[in-house]
């Protein structure tokens, strides 16, 4: 059962967002779905409430022990359960878990300077497969489990790409708060080959938070036929993307 992996960013889930309605509609059609979510803005807000400074190095959150405690609490306790509750309130079936559960995301410290920030070593898709078989949407908080039993903060975009690759997914879809990948003049690029996407990163045209999304798409394409980065603010963007319409950027290997 090859799933559709959907990465949801906190910035795309506004009051008028239709993503959760789309997920439930797709589940009722029998589509196997996996949701990976972030929560960076909410984490920063809660750190601020606790008087804990937020620092980023090369786009990654520097995660000391104090920060890690807040990351785990917000991702697993707030964001994850809110998403599960919202899906279920719409008539869907969802089960929340983190990358720690079932050693779903095995990770190691990426760089000592970043503290408890992890890079993915291995994905164990068995927990996902079990939940899909039982008719649930797995809703995954991007935490990793280290070799010494430590909890690690993993970039949600990276986690989504790795999970898609390990699951040989039907497709990987990123819901963002921008139209898609833009060129140097700010115009939408509707289709990219892996080589073109890599070139945009190398030239600096793709920058900031779009880098891990494009890199995750490239990672997924080792086993996944197509990856998409779409504007989650558009009504029913997810339904349209899966139906083959809609806007955004599609990254796909060239045939042959």
Residues 212 and 142 sit within 8 Å (Cβ to Cβ): no
10, 38, 96, 180: the catalytic one is 10
Cα(75)–Cα(61) distance, rounded to whole angstroms? 14
Q: For the chain, what percent of residues have pLDDT higher than 70?
A: 96
The answer, yes or no, to whether residue 94 has pLDDT greater than 80, is yes
Q: Structural domain tally of the chain?
A: 1
The per-residue pLDDT for 13 is: 58
The residue segments making up the domain with residue 19 are 4-252
Average pLDDT over residues 120-131: 97
Global pTM reads: 0.95
Q: Is 253 one of the annotated active-site residues of the chain?
A: no
9, 38, 40, 232: the catalytic one is 40
Reported as a single tens digit per residue, the pLDDT across 8-42 is 986 555 555 799 999 999 999 999 999 999 998 89
Q: How many CB atoms lie within 10 A of CB 133?
A: 10
CATH code for the domain of 195: 3.40.1160.10
The per-residue pLDDT for 56 is: 85
Cα(21)–Cα(185) distance, rounded to whole angstroms? 34
110: which DSSP letter? S
């Amino acid at each position: 059962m090859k799933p559709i992996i959907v990465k949801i960013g906190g910035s795309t889930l506004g009051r008028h967002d239709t993503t959760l309605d789309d997920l439930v509609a797709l589940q009722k059609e029998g589509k196997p779905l996996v949701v990976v979510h972030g929560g960076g803005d909410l984490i920063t807000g809660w750190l601020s409430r606790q008087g804990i400074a937020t620092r980023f190095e090369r786009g990654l959150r520097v995660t000391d022990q104090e920060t890690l405690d807040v990351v785990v609490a917000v991702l697993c306790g707030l964001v994850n359960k809110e998403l599960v509750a919202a899906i279920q309130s719409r008539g869907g079936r969802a089960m929340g878990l983190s990358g720690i559960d079932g050693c779903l995301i095995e990770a190691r410290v990426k760089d000592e300077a970043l503290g408890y920030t992890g890079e993915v070593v291995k994905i164990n898709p068995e927990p996902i497969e079990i939940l899909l078989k039982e008719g649930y949407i797995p809703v995954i908080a991007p935490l990793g489990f280290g070799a010494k039993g430590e909890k690690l903060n993993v970039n949600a975009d990276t986690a989504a790409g790795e999970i898609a690759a390990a699951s040989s997914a039907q497709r990987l879809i990123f819901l963002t708060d921008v139209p898609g990948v833009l060129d140097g003049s700010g115009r939408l690029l509707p289709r990219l080959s892996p080589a073109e996407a890599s070139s945009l990163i190398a030239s600096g045209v793709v920058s900031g938070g779009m880098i891990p999304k494009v890199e995750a798409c490239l990672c997924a394409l080792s086993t996944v036929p197509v990856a998409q980065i779409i504007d989650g603010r558009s009504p029913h963007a997810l339904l349209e993307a899966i139906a083959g319409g809609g806007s955004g950027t599609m990254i796909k290997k060239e045939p042959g």
